[in-house]
Chain A
Amino acid sequence: MKSPLAYHFNQVEHYYGTNKALDIKELAIPRGSITGIAGPNGSGKSTLLKLMTFAESPRFGEILFNGKKEHLFSPSVRFEISLLTQKPYLLKRTVFENTAYGLKIRKNSKDIRARVEEALSKVGLPFEDFAKRRWHQLSGGEAQRVALAARLALHPQVLLLDEPTASVDAESAARIRDASLAARRDWGTTLVIVSHDPQWLNEISDTTLHLFEGKAVKPGRNTMIPGPWTTQPNHMAFCDLGGGQRFFAPDPPARDAMGLISAHDIKLDPPEKSREFTNQLEGIVTHLVLDPKTAMVIASIRVGDLMVITLIDQQTVAASGLYPGRVVTLFARPSAVTWL
């Protein structure tokens, strides 16, 4: 029987020299799921993806793929896992040859043309116009789409995407997003997506894993609050969010500590009969999306320079007439902040 988990990380630690790059006690990624990975630069996101491709092995702990210990060149790893890096490398060949490279390695010569045509059309590149183009005749966005097409042509069991839309134009970004989601819909592909776009991650992922300094925070809908924190005599510290707004939290372990608050702890209503000081923040709703699993609406609200995520039930959304662009007041208890 196949394992219900695509990946299972157990006590995994990875180092570059003496620097600990990743420390994940446990992580389970179900097959066919979409997992978003968020975190600041240098938090270990790309390292995590490299470990998932088995291109690097962790110094400690084990990573199971489909319930088994695997290694880099085992057939199930070679032929089932594919990674799209942030700056993809295109072979110095035509678009067709780039897209067909993996199929040729699999000696899948029967329907190469059809598979390439299908993959290119999924990323919005007409076969007739692009197949014969050479690698240097493509824009940055087109190159990224060709790189994705090369992976989609393989119908991979797992597709790892490292900032796939970070440096491309709006059209390419939309095509890449649609094509990635189609992979899960059409072939049940497990998607693991690293992105700095929390809105997109919240919109498409079943769960989001937050990384900070190599450590994984409990998966879920969270908002990360970066420092610096200014400590006050009453053990309460504040962080400037921009626009004259401050977020208060108790006892940060360091000036540059990263705070984390769950979407469940950010409310649109003031807490009842609470003596505890409450953060009161004004923000603009930028995005509303329904989470089909929980039937809750995920609201992205910009407070100063910070994008805050909160969960609101559908009735409240309808009753309060929430829409993107509307100014709302948010309430959050300082004690709800945990430190990473």
Chain B
Amino acid sequence: MAMDAGEIERLIREGIPDAEVTIRDLAGDGNHYSATVLAPSFAGKTRVQQHQLVYNALKGNMGGVLHALALQTGTP
């Protein structure tokens, strides 16, 4: 089971409408990605809160189907 970059991007965008999302496939196995998510709505939130917003957008796939997603978050 794996996820493709497009699906990850779509889920994050749906969950965080004002996000700019850049996904890089680290291993080509659909399981190891890095993602940079920049969103004005992250302003004033801690890194943990920002990452949690991204994980919530991924609707439970994180840690299950998606094993490794190296996250970088912030405001544009």
Q: Do A and B bind each other?
A: no
